[in-house]
Structures are given as structure tokens and as C-alpha cells.
């Protein structure tokens, strides 16, 4: 258990009355809210052993302690974000392309991105490895080798340059596969239970899938966190 994980689950890190996704991405009851935007991602192939392993991990979490404190995503939505685009909720200068005003309509921004991405050459696939499970909802992943990790970071840098967008966390971004979202802060006892289960699930997942392939790289749009619609392949 890490102190940061415990502080996140109990709300100590945020210092707010509810987790950040509530009121933006989901209702307090777990129903999806409109949270429109665009992103660059790699899906988890639904015919792969990795997808089966991630599905199994999610099922264990859904049957575990405090499952009612989470909303779990449809397995068909499983993906790893390569580079965050923009969304309707966060129209701040440091989260928006520098060449566009923050009041430019989302559709126009997506079209601008699509045009800029047409001639971009990116790796077709990446091999990644799970490294842990944070808070019962987020599988932490990284490149399966040092070279792959460098390729992922280089891809992010290329996309940042092409799209003229660099978020504050660009250099420290942690790759992950989201299985669900936290609906409420946990008590200390609940957080301990969830963290213990997360550790067990992570060990099983890493044993089953120490490394796996993802890709191709896709530019997508979304209306909610439950579905990502492809605009174009970038690999």
C-alpha cells in the first residue's frame, strides 16, 4: 500500500467532498454524464488474452469489498490513452491547443486535429506491461522494454508538437488502463480493503499477462467515458 493511494481513496489528497469524476463524467449513482472530447488511444483487442485477463480482473473487483463505491466501465471500452486531446469541460489555456481560442467549438477543434494528424507517422503497435493496480480501478502500465517506453514518450512528444498542445502533466503522465471510477471517498478501513485486493489482483494480472501488444494508434472522439468512436488510424 502506498500513502498516495490511501490518501487518494479517502479524499485526503483532493480535499473535496467528492471524487473528481463525479458531476463531470458520472453521477453519484454511477450513470454516465456527457463529457465530450477527443483523444489518441490504443484499444485492447477483444480477441486477445490480455482483454480476457483485464475482464477477469474487473470481475474480481466488482465482486470485492466496496464495489458499490465504484462504477465499472464496459469492457469493450478498455484502452490505454496515448495522448489526451481536449474536452468540453476543461477549456483552460494550458489544456487547449495554443493556436486556438478556448471558446472554439469542440467539433472545429476535432477537425483541426484531424487535418494536422493526416500525415503523421506513428508506430503501429506497442508492447506494454502491467505494473500494478491503483485504487481498485486503474491498471498502471508502461513499455515492456526501455526502448518501448522511449517510443511511447516520443510518440507523445510528436503528438504534442503536431497538435500544439502540451498539458501540465505531459512529462510525468502515467500510462494506464481504466477499469472504473470512484463514486465516493472511502473510509480508512474501506481503503485498506480495496488496496489489499488491488495488490492481489495486480499480482494475478501480471502473472497471466506480463506483457502484451496494443494498437493500432487511433484518433477518437467520445461523448461519455463508456465509448470511444474512431476518427482515423495513425499507425
Q: If pLDDT is split at 50, 70 and 90, which confidence band does 1 have?
A: low
Cβ proximity of 204 and 61 under 8 Å: no
Domain CATH for 140 = 3.90.1140.10
Give the model's pLDDT for residue 2: 81
DSSP assignment, residue 73?
P
Any idea what the Cα angle at residue 127 is, between residues 126 and 129, rounded to 5°? Answer: 130
Count up the domains in the chain and report the number.
1
pLDDT by residue (tens digit) across 16-36? 999 999 999 999 999 999 999
- Residue 169, classed as helix, strand or coil, is coil
pLDDT by residue (tens digit) across 198-207? 999 999 999 9
Host domain of residue 76: 3-233
**Cα–Cα distances in Å, from 3 out to 17, 142, 162, 201, 206?**
20, 21, 37, 19, 22
Per-residue pLDDT for 229 more than 60? yes
Amino acid at each position: 500500500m502506498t500513502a498516495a493511494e490511501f490518501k487518494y481513496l479517502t479524499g485526503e489528497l483532493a480535499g473535496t467532498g467528492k471524487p473528481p469524476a463525479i458531476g463531470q463524467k458520472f453521477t453519484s449513482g454511477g450513470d454516465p454524464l456527457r463529457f465530450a472530447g477527443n483523444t489518441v488511444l490504443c484499444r485492447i483487442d477483444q480477441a486477445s488474452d490480455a482483454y480476457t485477463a483485464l475482464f477477469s480482473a474487473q470481475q474480481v473487483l466488482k465482486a470485492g469489498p466496496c464495489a458499490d463505491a465504484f462504477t465499472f466501465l464496459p469492457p469493450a471500452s478498455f484502452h490505454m490513452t496515448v495522448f489526451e486531446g481536449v474536452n468540453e469541460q476543461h477549456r483552460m489555456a494550458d489544456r487547449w491547443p495554443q493556436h486556438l481560442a478556448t471558446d472554439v467549438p469542440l467539433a472545429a477543434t476535432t477537425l483541426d486535429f484531424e487535418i494536422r494528424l493526416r500525415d503523421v507517422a506513428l508506430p503501429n503497435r506497442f508492447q506494454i506491461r502491467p505494473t500494478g493496480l491503483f485504487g481498485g480501478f486503474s491498471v498502471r502500465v508502461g513499455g515492456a522494454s526501455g526502448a518501448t517506453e522511449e517510443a511511447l514518450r516520443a510518440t507523445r512528444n510528436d503528438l504534442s508538437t503536431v497538435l500544439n498542445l502540451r498539458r501540465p502533466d505531459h512529462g510525468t503522465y502515467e500510462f494506464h488502463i481504466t477499469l472504473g471510477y470512484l463514486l465516493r471517498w472511502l473510509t480508512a478501513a474501506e481503503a485498506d480493503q480495496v488496496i489489499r485486493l488491488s495488490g492481489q489482483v495486480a499480482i494475478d494480472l501480471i502473472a497471466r499477462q506480463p506483457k502484451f501488444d496494443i494498437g493500432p494508434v487511433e484518433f477518437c472522439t467520445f461523448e461519455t467515458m463508456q465509448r470511444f468512436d474512431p476518427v482515423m488510424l495513425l499507425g
